[in-house]
Amino acid sequence: MEGLVSIGSDGLTASINPMGAELWSLKDAQGRELMTDADPRWWTGHAPLLFPFVGRSRGDVYRLDGRDYSMPQHGFARRMAFTQVEHLPESATFRLEADAETRAVYPFDFRLDMQFALAGGTVMMTAMVTNRGDGHMPFSFGYHPAFAWPLPFGGSVEEHRVEFEQPEPAALRKVGDEPGLIARETAPSPVEGRMLTPTYAMFEGDALIWDDLKSRSLHWGVPGRTRLRIDFPDTPWLGLWQKPGAHYLCVEPWAGMADLVGFDGDVWDKQGIMRLLPGEERRFRMDVTVVDV
């Protein structure tokens, strides 16, 4: 697609859309696509960045110091053009800064830099959020990449597994009765030890959400074949999502989450909200590595 920014290494090539600083394509050394086919029957997204909030605010509105502000699900960054600030053969960096449009719905002077770097068979993605204002800034951040299901390394849809770094017995959160909001009750984990066998039926009620996650790494693919290792050291929660029957699985490391059903408090009381002091920066890393057998 015209306008995409491409970078490459001896193991991967990546293409990024400056609109949203969104990773649109990730191919291995043989040119095989590792991400979604973006079939419009299901979902045309690829890997949106979730900022300044993860998930949905109740009624698509959040409250700050007694005033209500509009905020679309997953924030506005994914729908805004980033400025390219660096482009090297193996890396590229994109920037979004506060302007009149963002301040109308999020009255903070922020900077969001998004860096993509390739080294061999790994893509390293680093988001850098900076508070450039003189007050405390509430925010959350998340990744939302859609990886191919099935991956192009052989094996059927049914053979694919999510293998966590550690056993994950904790109960899950799911979307509740209010659209996009998190139910207050939990659901039993479908993980057996460290292994999850995903099925289309699992996602008929929307995402699977871990808010008591031990792992900061997982593998996606068919055990015994080439797989993807996904590392997310800076994000404590995780969502898995797809439209049932689609050709992707979204692996979504989050630092933040949608409102709980019935939530009507101030943004500072929203689950997962982080507080960034004036001049402070927070970084969120996500690495994806092609792991051969």
Cα–Cα dist 245/260, whole Å? 28
- Provide the residue ranges of all domains of the chain, joining segments of one domain with +: 5-291
Contact call for residues 74 and 207 (beta carbons, < 8 A): no
Q: Whole-model pTM?
A: 0.97
What is the reported pLDDT for 293?
Answer: 80
Closest by Cα among 103, 101, 97 to 64 = 103
Q: Residue written as tokens 């808010």?
A: 211
Closest by Cα among 122, 131, 191, 145 to 24 = 145
Note down pLDDT in tens along the chain; length 293 residues: 569 999 999 999 999 999 999 999 999 999 999 999 999 999 999 999 999 999 999 999 999 999 999 999 999 999 999 999 999 999 999 999 999 999 999 999 999 999 999 999 999 999 999 999 999 999 999 999 999 999 999 999 999 999 999 999 999 999 999 989 999 999 999 999 999 999 999 999 999 999 999 999 999 999 999 999 999 999 999 999 999 999 999 999 999 999 999 999 999 999 999 999 999 999 999 999 999 98
Closest by Cα among 274, 73, 248 to 148 = 248
The DSSP symbol for 229 reads E
DSSP 3-state assignment of 190?
coil
**Domain 5-291: which CATH class?**
mainly beta
